[in-house]
Amino acid sequence: MNGSEIQGSADNPRSPDKRQPEESTMTHARRLTDRAAHANQLQASPAQRPATPSERRLARWVCVALSAATVFLLPFAQIQLGKMQAFLPGYQTAVIGTYLLTAYLMYGNYRATRSEALLHLSGGCLYTAGILVVQFLSFPGAFTDKGALIGGSQTTIWLWFFWHIGPAVGALVFAWSEYRNPGRVTKDHARALRNTIAVVLLAFAATVALTVFNSGLPVLDVNGDFSRITSSGIAPLLQVLLAGALVILWRASRFRNVLHLWLAMTIVALLCDNAVTMVGATRLSLGWYAGRLSALISSSFMMLVYLHDIASSYERSVAAADRLADSNAKLEVKVDEARLDPLTKLPRRDLFNEIAERLRDSTVAEGTGFATLYIDLDGFKAVNDRLGHGYGDIVLIRTAEALKSLLRDSDVAGRMGGDEFVVCVSAPSDVVLAVATRVADRIVGKIAALGDGLGASVGISTRRDDLEGAVGEADNAMFEAKKLGKNRSSFFRSKLQLVA
């Protein structure tokens, strides 16, 4: 029995691989998996996830509070307030930011779910943000004391109408899409995206051309008095569009889904914005300020629901990662248990080699010594033949227990098969041989104490550069111990060392 024979007594060869299922079956399974994954994505989306009772109660109370506040303010809407210099820039910047962020979040959710309705809603938010930017530039005195940067005297009020058209039409198209084709998924993503971008750009360009570069706009604003938005019918038209979107959205889902619920809150806030603005009728009135705040609240609802969804998704991802790590740890334990010798519970050859290799690498990195002990029981065959295999198994178990009792946590022991065991230990380089010899002598004593004529021959190698070579040297040294009379240890010496 030499080092090469040890390596030759490896685990049984693997059985031939089973043939994989037929291609058609695999393809069908992949399709089912893809559909299940897509269904999970949809279910995780606020556009498809059912609203909880607490979310529905929150939405109801928010809508009631907005409506009650609007009704309360209507009798005072025409009271003039002083000019707040920072209000308009702060408000306009906030509303632009919320619509841009909402458009991006909607588009991101569309990318994950391919929901056509979400793409429509994202396009409406993007159009609205663009018009708000142009309106900001058209405000007299916002950027220069000489008037507005762009447009004429009627540009700002008409842009107010068109930016309100954006969320109204976006919500209406979204609601109609959900009503006629609930959960419809785009089949051609690139084409749908191109069409949406083209529509948004065309609508934006047409709006800018109509309001900024058209000096013949109908007069709606007379020195800050915009009461004509009501008498001309454009503000009531907005209310009709918003109310229609709310009714169709209710018909589509009864506000059961999270996004539908928060979109309904957005529409209610816009209805309140328009109502108090129409009654206020002049710039810097209480109704004008209240309308701006309602518009800001309206623009924030959908952004908040998606930001909350992102936070919830992160929490779910962390929880899923923790569960996965826990499952992997349990699986790793099960895998390691499967690689233990079922009788002695010591690592079998492959697992022992992995652990011993890690120990050897650490000794190389730290500059400490490494020793390998190869143990073969003396008299085991006679005991096994005389007292039976059952008693032989008991001997092997007691031998493993003896090894475990003698080793530190950093050391490693394994069963190579039959009555052969290997141990690897580490110690400072100048004392590693002494430590290994002391461990070997204790092993010999422990095994001899089992009685029945049992003993152990132990070979020692302090080779550190190669684990396989170290095991081979220890195996050869073990044979030397047997030649010297058994039940002892022997240190491996090369031929050059023997000649010396």
- Shared domain for 369 and 311, answered yes or no, is no
Distance separating alpha carbons of residues 137 and 154, to the nearest angstrom: 13
Residue 328 placed within a domain: no
In sequence order, the 6+-apart residues with CB closer than 8 A to the CB of 411 are 359, 423, 424, 425, 426
In sequence order, the 6+-apart residues with CB closer than 8 A to the CB of 349 are 10, 11, 414, 416, 417
- Shared domain for 44 and 125, answered yes or no, is yes
Calculate mean pLDDT across residues 10-31: 42
Average pLDDT, whole number, for the chain?
Answer: 82
> Per-residue confidence at 338, pLDDT binned at 50, 70, 90?
low
Q: What is the pLDDT of residues 228-255, one digit of tens each?
A: 999 999 999 989 988 988 898 888 878 8
The bridge status of strand 420-427 relative to strand 412-417 is: antiparallel
The model's pTM: 0.58
Which pLDDT value is given to residue 224?
A: 87
> Per-residue confidence at 19, pLDDT binned at 50, 70, 90?
very low
- Shared domain for 306 and 454, answered yes or no, is no
| Cα-based distances in Å from 318 to 325, 327, 332 | 10, 14, 21
Residue 260 placed within a domain: yes
Q: Which of 443, 469, 471 is nearest to 457 (CA)?
A: 443
Residue 323 placed within a domain: no
Which pLDDT value is given to residue 45?
A: 63
Dig out the tokens for 4 from the structure: 């090469």
What does DSSP assign to residue 9?
Answer: S
Q: Which of 163, 173, 104, 93 is nearest to 128 (CA)?
A: 163
Calculate mean pLDDT across residues 393-405: 87
| Residue 185 one-letter amino acid | V
Calculate mean pLDDT across residues 327-341: 63
- Shared domain for 293 and 366, answered yes or no, is no
Report yes or no: 291 and 248 within 8 Å, Cβ to Cβ: no
Range of the domain at 176: 28-315
Q: What is the pLDDT of residues 76-111, one digit of tens each?
A: 999 998 888 888 889 999 999 999 998 998 888 888
Residue 337 placed within a domain: no
Q: Side by side, which strands form the sheet with 455-461?
A: 412-417, 420-427, 369-378, 455-461, 489-491
- Shared domain for 377 and 304, answered yes or no, is no
- Shared domain for 245 and 357, answered yes or no, is no
> Per-residue confidence at 3, pLDDT binned at 50, 70, 90?
very low
CA 173 from centroid of its chain's CA atoms: 32
Domain count of the chain? 2
Residue 470 placed within a domain: yes
Q: Which of 448, 449, 471 is nearest to 460 (CA)?
A: 471
- Shared domain for 154 and 107, answered yes or no, is yes
Report yes or no: 252 and 49 within 8 Å, Cβ to Cβ: no
- Shared domain for 249 and 152, answered yes or no, is yes
What does DSSP assign to residue 76?
Answer: G
**To 5 degrees, how large is the angle CA 108–CA 112–CA 118?**
60
Residue 16 placed within a domain: no
Residue 309 or residue 50, greater confidence: 50
Instruction: For residue 97, give the CATH number of its domain.
Output: 1.20.1070
Which pLDDT value is given to residue 38?
A: 43
Which pLDDT value is given to residue 180?
A: 82
Residue 49 or residue 440, greater confidence: 440
In the predicted structure, residue 355 carries a pLDDT above the cut 90? no
In the predicted structure, residue 21 carries a pLDDT above the cut 70? no
Q: What is the pLDDT of residues 406-462, one digit of tens each?
A: 888 888 888 888 888 999 998 888 888 998 899 999 888 888 888 888 888 999 998
Distance separating alpha carbons of residues 1 and 286, to the nearest angstrom: 100
In the predicted structure, residue 323 carries a pLDDT above the cut 60? yes
